[in-house]
């Protein structure tokens, strides 16, 4: 485990993470997946809303990347957003939705209801009521992003869930733990007790791929208690921050991974879950200037490629609902 209580790819013995060996085994045993309207596979779009306002440290950190991207205009936009939160380039949720609508896609947005964070206070959820209302009107899913310090505390998680439900006026069924803090199997048990129907936290924070060999949702089995946990896991497969901050790949090399992952999901009738943070879309600037416009273009490339392959491009709630209705995996 690292200092943030995460099991890392670096220390894992399972290095062949681009091979969904467990899903392949299940398929060889007679399992197959089916999706609406004859779609062969699913690409699931998710966004963690970690920041909506520019912090001073974001401006300072942007100079670290300046020699690489030379985006002084972006740095100035960060500075303006820091001085006046109404000008924050991270308030771009409508822009994300409009891009996805071009490909008949809908996504999940995970919001923090607990602003206490190792990286400093995040935001007051009440201030985002209008943005959340817009997302709901557009058919997007609103989920919970558990607080950094509360991810393993049932009472705190329940309070966060209730706070989001108060704003949305609807039951929140999905969750992803902030910074992917997760303990197997304890986190599944806690989230299930909190009333969540699915989780989408399971992956390495420092690598893309199939952490447990699955490219399909599954119901976790608790080896300690010898029983299944009453929650659906929709594994996270690839994220912007894993590519940029940990794997150190640029948008060109990241696409090579993403194309391979999409092709694998298509071949195995799988479910490929993508995480792109809202600050990655905040052109002409982005989070500490880490992400240039090529990362927004890369996201649209994912949408376009998946659309042309006739994927079901959807959100996690739709996957859970379909699983509840029909079962994602069926035995011949």
**Mean pLDDT value across residues 271-290:** 82
Q: What is the pTM of this model?
A: 0.94
Those residues with Cβ within 8 angstroms of residue 115's Cβ, 6 or more apart along the chain or in another chain: 121, 122, 123, 124, 125, 147
Summarize pLDDT for 19-46 with one digit per residue, the tens: 999 999 999 999 888 899 999 999 999 9
Three-state DSSP class for residue 309 = coil
- CB distance 286 to 74 below 8 Å: yes
- Please give the domain boundaries of the chain with CATH numbers for all domains: 21-331 (3.20.20.370)
Lowest mean pLDDT segment, chosen from 55-64, 97-106, 227-236, 311-320 = 55-64
Joined together, the tokens standing for residue 121 give 């206070």
- CB distance 200 to 4 below 8 Å: no
Category of 195 on φ-ψ map: left (φ > 0), alpha (ψ -120 to 50) or beta: left
At 330, is the pLDDT very low, low, confident or very high (cuts 50, 70, 90)? very low
Rounded (10°) CA dihedral 73, 94, 240, 72: 0
At 329, is the pLDDT very low, low, confident or very high (cuts 50, 70, 90)? very low
pLDDT of 331 strictly over 60: no
d(CA 175, CA 161): 9
pLDDT at residue 157 in the model = 98
pLDDT at residue 78 in the model = 79
Summarize pLDDT for 129-180 with one digit per residue, the tens: 999 999 999 999 999 999 999 999 999 999 999 999 999 999 999 999 999 9
d(CA 173, CA 51): 22
């Amino acid at each position: 485990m690292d200092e943030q209580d995460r099991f890392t790819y670096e220390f894992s013995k399972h290095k062949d993470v681009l091979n969904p060996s467990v899903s392949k085994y299940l398929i060889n045993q007679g399992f197959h997946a089916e999706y609406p309207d004859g779609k062969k596979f699913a690409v699931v779009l998710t966004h963690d809303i970690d920041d909506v306002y520019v912090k001073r440290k974001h401006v300072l950190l942007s100079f670290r990347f300046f020699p690489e991207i030379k985006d002084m205009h972006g740095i100035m936009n960060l500075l303006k957003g820091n001085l006046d939160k109404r000008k924050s380039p991270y308030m771009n949720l409508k822009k994300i939705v409009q891009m996805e609508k071009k490909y008949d896609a809908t996504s999940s947005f995970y919001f923090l209801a607990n602003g206490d964070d190792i990286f400093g206070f995040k935001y007051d959820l009440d201030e985002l009521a209008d943005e959340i209302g817009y997302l709901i009107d557009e058919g997007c899913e609103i989920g919970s992003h558990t607080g950094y310090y509360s991810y393993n505390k049932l009472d705190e998680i329940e309070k966060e869930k209730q706070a989001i439900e108060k704003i949305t006026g609807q039951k929140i069924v999905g969750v992803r733990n902030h910074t992917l803090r997760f303990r197997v199997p304890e986190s599944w048990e806690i989230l299930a007790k909190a009333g969540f129907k699915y989780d989408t936290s399971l992956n390495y924070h420092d690598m893309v791929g199939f952490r447990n060999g699955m490219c399909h949702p599954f119901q976790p089995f608790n080896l300690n208690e010898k029983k299944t946990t009453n929650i659906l896991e929709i594994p996270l497969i690839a994220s912007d921050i894993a590519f940029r901050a940990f794997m150190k790949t640029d948008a060109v090399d990241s696409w090579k991974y993403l194309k391979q992952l999409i092709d694998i999901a298509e071949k195995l009738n799988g479910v490929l879950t993508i995480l792109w943070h809202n600050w990655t879309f905040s052109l002409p600037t982005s989070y500490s200037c880490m992400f240039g416009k090529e990362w927004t273009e890369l996201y649209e490339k994912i949408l376009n490629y998946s659309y042309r392959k006739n994927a079901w491009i959807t959100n996690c709630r739709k996957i859970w609902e379909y699983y509840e209705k029909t079962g994602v995996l069926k035995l011949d």
